Structure 1
Amino acid sequence: MADLELDTPVLDDHLHLDPDHGRGLDAVRDFRRLGGTHLLVVNKPSWHLGCEADTGEDFRAVFDRTLDVVADADDILPGRAWPVLGVHPGLISRLVDERGVASDDARDLMQAGLDVAAEYVRDGRALALKSGRPHYDTTDAVWDASNAVLKHALSLGADAGCAVQLHTEASEDLTDVAEWAAARGLSPHRVVKHYAGPTLAGPTPSVMCRTEWLREAAERGEPFLMETDFVDDPDRPGAVMGPKTVPRRVRMLLDEGYDDAVRRAHVETPADVYGIDTEATLTG
């Protein structure tokens, strides 16, 4: 099957690749065949890659494995793939509920993992950081510890000069997080809510590719990104969205006349948020 081409860069802002247990590079090939050009690849949750971390340094194996698959994806794409590294906020529940770790100790471990991730950003091997807080009900102690981790990530983003992707509860108003970012020297527009709906106060929304959400985001005329959150887990084959979805939705938006919105999501907003040039890195 010949590759389909779209007259624009096409960026999936948030997906995972598992070359050992999932579809890995076959998912990248599917993305490219439908017209995809650029990917932001987020490391899978550490425990999904067999890492039961006891120290911040233990996360390094997870980050290095992610860099390996990103380099391979980079070779396949007509554009670029970039790694986004961090500590999944759900780890705190695994530590506290399953391993019996105190919430403050879990906080310290997760912050140490983010410190290591920030090293990769500072030396140019990663583009951005990933953090957040649970999207489910927790105890006050876990919630407070999670917010401390999130704030630490924002401080690291400010120090490293990079964007921070966040996994949080469903919300249309995260102005509190935007204010935390600004107080730490990180511009709120460089905070990205992954798995966002079309309307969001505070950070930049990375909108899940539901057609009605994308149409609403396009009509609003404000900065946004597009993502699938492809999880690349063979045990969850129908979870979230597949790697072909972003290029298919871009084609839909173009067919419906939303050319300006496509440019905003795939050229202008990536440049403003991440400092990447999806046009200059597109080689054909």
Structure 2
Amino acid sequence: MEDLGTPVLDNHLHLDPRHGRGIDAVEDFAHLGGTHLLVVNKPSWLLGVEPEKDDPRDDFRAVFEETLDAVSDADSVLRGRAWPVLGVHPGLVSKLVDDRGFTPEEARDTMQTGLDVAAEYVADDDCDALALKTGRPHYEVTDAVWEASNDVLKHGLALGAEGDCAVQLHTEGTDDLTEVAAWAEERGLAREKVVKHYALGRLKGPTPSVMSEKDRLLDAVENGAPFLMETDFVDDPDRPGAVLGPKTVPRRVRWLLEEGHEDAVRNAHVETPELVYGIDTEATLSE
């Protein structure tokens, strides 16, 4: 198992032991020097879960419990730690409205209930869930669906403020989310605790979780602001390696170190995880 001399955190990936590579992907990550993972639950429909309109709480619990099991398995492999990030994928709104006949308002209520359940796990000291996941579609939708999605996003920000936890966002591609950062602050959540997943190297407003492509990373390095690194590995056997494979973050960390960017590596893997999540990636290497 390679030791890169630093914690190495992948801030956003998925694990699917039932259908995908599961623990094998974690072993690949760890073998190249990866030490810490934030494991985000897969979209509910990809796990065969269809939340009901009247009482979807147990449906969402099934999704979250599967993620917790995957995190527990990952913990047994890593030199550091894995933590779950639990929430509702914003694409669910289209599954509910377009495929199942929900009104946008019914979809909004269902998804907000899912976030309520996720927040219960975050509040549970035995769970160690670090953050909530929410957002809005990254594709074109009707005005009614967009409004409902923004309501879901704002609800997630409010829950993050109540639980004093970070919120990871899945949104449209953009380098400016100052409006969303303002929504967070209006609800009592510091903007640095809002994280845009699949980010470019520069972002106005929240903290960027930068896709670990060299050009994006160099942009983040040059910018010098807090940032995280991720792969968004989807662990789908029909899409092997998508979006980036689990080996990517440790490989990019090695490359950054070889290029003399030690300060940037510390920024992404020690300082920003502490700023956003309150975790100490150095101390947890000894656990």
Whether the TM-score (by the shorter chain) exceeds 0.5 is yes
Provide the residue aligned with 1:280 in structure 2.
283
Alignment partners' CA distance in 2, 1:25 and 1:223: 30
- 1:152 equivalent to 2:155? Answer yes
Matches within 5 A, 1:33-48: 33-48=31-46
Provide the residue aligned with 1:115 in structure 2.
116
Provide the residue aligned with 2:30 in structure 1.
32
Three-state SS of the structure 2 residue aligned to 1:273 is: helix
By how many angstroms is 1:244 displaced? 0.1
Three-state SS of the structure 2 residue aligned to 1:222 is: coil
By how many angstroms is 1:206 displaced? 0.1
By how many angstroms is 1:239 displaced? 2.2
Q: Is the 8 A contact 1:56 1:114 kept in 2?
A: no
Provide the residue aligned with 1:261 in structure 2.
264
Give a deviation string over 1:152-178, Cα, whole Å, max 9, x none. 000000000100000000001000000
By how many angstroms is 1:67 displaced? 0.3
What RMSD over aligned residues (CA atoms) do the two structures have, in Å?
0.8
Three-state SS of the structure 2 residue aligned to 1:278 is: coil
By how many angstroms is 1:220 displaced? 1.1
Give a deviation string over 1:51-80, Cα, whole Å, max 9, x none. 001113310010011001100100100000
Alignment partners' CA distance in 2, 1:146 and 1:66: 24
By how many angstroms is 1:215 displaced? 1.1
- 1:97 equivalent to 2:98? Answer yes
Three-state SS of the structure 2 residue aligned to 1:76 is: coil
Please tell me the residue identity of whatever aligns with 1:40: L
Give a deviation string over 1:75-106, Cα, whole Å, max 9, x none. 10000000000000000000000001000000
Unaligned runs of at least 5 residues, structure 1? none
The more displaced of 187-196 and 213-222 is 213-222
Alignment partners' CA distance in 2, 1:257 and 1:267: 17
Q: Is the 8 A contact 2:200 2:211 kept in 1?
A: yes
By how many angstroms is 1:216 displaced? 1.2
Please tell me the residue identity of whatever aligns with 1:250: V
Alignment length (residue pairs) = 282
Matches within 5 A, 1:234-273: 234-273=237-276
Three-state SS of the structure 2 residue aligned to 1:134 is: coil
By how many angstroms is 1:238 displaced? 4.1
Provide the residue aligned with 2:21 in structure 1.
23
Matches within 5 A, 1:1-284: 3-54=1-52, 55-124=56-125, 125=127, 126-283=129-286
Alignment partners' CA distance in 1, 2:213 and 2:222: 14
Q: Is the 8 A contact 1:57 1:113 kept in 2?
A: no
Alignment partners' CA distance in 2, 1:56 and 1:89: 17
Stretches of 4+ aligned residues off by more than 4 angstroms: none
Alignment partners' CA distance in 2, 1:161 and 1:187: 9
By how many angstroms is 1:236 displaced? 1.1
Please tell me the residue identity of whatever aligns with 1:7: G
Q: Is the 8 A contact 1:205 1:224 kept in 2?
A: yes
Give a deviation string over 1:240-271, Cα, whole Å, max 9, x none. 10000000000000000000000000000000
Three-state SS of the structure 2 residue aligned to 1:282 is: helix
Alignment partners' CA distance in 1, 2:77 and 2:242: 24
